Chain A
Amino acid sequence: MAKVLKIFLEDPGQPRYGFELMKLTGMTSGSLYPMLAKLEGAGWLTRGKEDIDPCAVGRPPRMQYSITSAAESAARLEFAAPSGYYRPPVLGRLRLQGGTA
């Protein structure tokens, strides 16, 4: 799920398509679509039809997914949490072996 959210967070205003997400994340449709359904069900993603003229393009409009603003900030916080956990301690609080401080 992190892979999918990362793609959305790279450009939150940019709607993404299913096949595009498959290519960008390297996931299969069998893994991606249940995840998109879960995220949509949780209110993190919204769906909308592509704005094209089907007659001009010669195909029906595709479904595009966008991340909501609430989900964007929540996802950024979620991504920030592990990086804080793995951040090394501040050097000033360390004491060298055999030191007197």
Chain B
Amino acid sequence: MTGYLWAFVGFLGGLALTAFADMVSEEVRDRLNHLPDAILWLAALRLDPAQRETLYKDDWLPELTYILKGDEARPVTRLVHGVGYALGILASTRRIARSLNRAQPSGATHKQQVEQRGRPPALSWRDKWVAWQAQGRQLFEKAFPQADLVDYDGRRVPRIGATHVTERRTGSAE
């Protein structure tokens, strides 16, 4: 009798362990899907607000969305391509911004532009620490969003970049 009981408990334990492993796998997969998006957003933080609009929103983010949702988007392939794309952008953000700044019609050099704008006020270490904390918190929320699944064609899919598309589509369906 005791043997049957242990077998039953073992069976239940096995089921629970399988379900837990599946949940962990799904959780990790979902978090990894957001990794390229978070890296790209970090790159966007290094841009001026005006450039953030033209480069990040109009150029990089749609391209990343295409990479992550394109026809060749197998799970590992899209992660490798997406992270590679975002890391490359992150590494060269300043160079891209500089190249576009140089092409401004004013013809002013970067040093002259800084002088025209005026130097930013010097921050104390305490202010810098607060700013870093805020940026870190934003990055964390970007990488680990609370509501990261959206309705799309009757399915629950991860929210990747083009949220406005799914929202508009849901709105038009209603």
A residues adjacent to B (C-beta < 8 A): 17-19, 22, 28-34, 37-38, 40-42, 47, 49-50, 54-55, 58-63
Contacts and interface: CB of A to CB of B under 8 A. Distances in A.
Contacts, number: 85
Given A49-B58, A55-B165, A62-B63, 19 more contacts: A19-B81, A28-B88, A30-B87, A30-B89, A31-B88, A33-B88, A34-B95, A37-B96, A37-B99, A37-B100, A40-B100, A40-B103, A54-B165, A55-B169, A59-B62, A59-B162, A60-B162, A62-B62, A63-B62
Classify the interface of chain B: helix, strand, loop or mixed.
helix
Contacts of B81: 19
B103 A58 contact: no
B161 interface: yes
B84 interface: yes
A8 B172 CA distance: 39
A63 B63 contact: yes
B96 A28 contact: no
B88 A29 contact: yes
A61 B92 contact: no
A17 B63 contact: yes
Interface of B: 58-59, 61-63, 65-67, 69, 81, 84-89, 91-92, 95-96, 99-100, 102-103, 152, 161-162, 164-166, 168-169, 172
A41 B102 CA distance: 7
A58 B67 contact: no
Contacts of B87: 30
